[in-house]
Amino acid sequence: VADFFNVRMRSSAGPSIAGESIHLSGGERLVPDGDARDAARELLDRAFKAGMSPDQIHITMERVPSGKIRHIPCLPVTTVDCPSPGSARAVAERVLARAGIDSAAISTAFDHIRSGFDGCGSVLRGAMLLDIRTGKRDCGTHGAGIRASRFDYSPGTIDMLAGVLDAAGLGHYRTREALALATKVLASGVVAELCWSDDPTYDAGYVSSAVDGYVRFPHFKPAGAVGGRVFFFDSDLCSAESLATRLKSDAFLIDGPLTVRTLSGFEAFVEPRTQR
Ligand code: PML
Ligand code: MG
């Protein structure tokens, strides 16, 4: 069996001194070694995409023996068609509450993705870790955030999964990549996640948990919000440090099946998930 390569890219603008550069784009792949150069080239194209003017681009490629990789099923996707960011937030709060997240931690999380790191309007490169009970935060070294890496769809199922998403009108690379990331972070011990994009032109977002899977909202981000990610964790089950290590180093390939459904609003969402 061939080895795999984890290929990571991040780009930024401004001085490279820690904390002062602005995150522009990033990406993450785990591919058979024969595909590693193509994956790196695609991520480099993303860094130089129209409108981007990066001052630094970091590409890291790391061999991952296939024996170290675990296969996990993809989270099921539910789109909840809420008409406004406010109604989407109400559903998202409900999803997070039934995953066991304390309401104070939920509002800290929304403050973070709305107003940025410590309210100063800047986007963390990675996610903020937030304790589900104490609300204690971990923002990584120099406030760079916590990064998840070493995950991808498995080579045998990536076309099928992308096809299912395409057929459901979810063909955007941001959806495909966020679904893979959300699947990985829950498998590594995160209790739930909250995310909307830092791309000002993209206002979809999601919450995820083991109970409800990947619950996406086409219009989640309120006007002017900066964007970002929060991983909720339970400090009774693991320390922030060990979780951060697992998020970086546990290697996962994601398999099918993938179920995708659309519900229209809160009432439909709280019904038992029997019918599709
Ligand atoms: C990002 O920009 O990377 C996050 C996108 C979150 C929403 C993805 C989706 O479901 O469309
Ligand atoms: Mg981004």
Q: Which residues contact residue 191 at a Cβ distance below 8 angstroms, ignoring those fewer than 6 apart?
A: 99, 100, 101, 132, 209, 210, 232, 233, 234
Q: Which token pair is 241?
A: 């440090």
Q: Report whether residue 77 contacts ligand 1, using a CB cutoff of 6 Å.
A: no
Give the sign of the dihedral formed by CA 226, CA 206, CA 126, CA 198.
Answer: negative
Mutational test site, ligand 1, from 81, 184, 196, max ligand atoms within 8 Å of CB: 196
Strand runs (DSSP E) across the chain, as ranges? 4-13, 22-32, 56-64, 69-73, 77-80, 128-131, 137-138, 151-153, 192-196, 205-209, 213-217, 228-233, 251-255, 260-263
Q: Which residues contact residue 212 at a Cβ distance below 8 angstroms, ignoring those fewer than 6 apart?
A: 78, 95, 98, 99
Q: Report whether residue 195 contacts ligand 1, using a CB cutoff of 6 Å.
A: yes
Q: Which token pair is 249?
A: 């180093």
Give the Å distance between the CA of 182 and the centre of ligand 1: 10
* Ligand sitting nearest the alpha carbon of 123: 2
CA-CA distance, 238 to 176, in Å (whole number)? 28
DSSP-based three-state secondary structure for 205: strand
Q: Which token pair is 148?
A: 């998840």
Ligand 1, atom 10, residue with closest C-alpha: 175
pLDDT at 135: 80
Residues 216-234 pLDDT 10s:
999 999 999 999 999 999 9
Residues 1-59 pLDDT 10s:
789 999 999 999 987 665 577 888 899 999 999 999 999 999 999 999 988 899 999 99
Task: Please state the pTM of the whole predicted model.
Answer: 0.94
pLDDT at 18: 59
The Cα diameter of the chain in Å comes to 53
Q: Report whether residue 199 contacts ligand 1, using a CB cutoff of 6 Å.
A: yes
Average pLDDT, the chain: 91
Q: Is the peptide bond before 257 cis (omega within 30 degrees of 0)?
A: yes
Do 111 and 135 meet the contact criterion of CB atoms below 8 Å apart?
Answer: no
DSSP-based three-state secondary structure for 109: helix
**What is the rounded average pLDDT of the residues 67-85?**
96
Q: Report whether residue 175 contacts ligand 1, using a CB cutoff of 6 Å.
A: yes
Residues 250-264 pLDDT 10s:
999 999 999 999 998
Give the Å distance between the CA of 183 and the centre of ligand 1: 13
Ligand 1, atom 5, residue with closest C-alpha: 197
DSSP-based three-state secondary structure for 131: strand
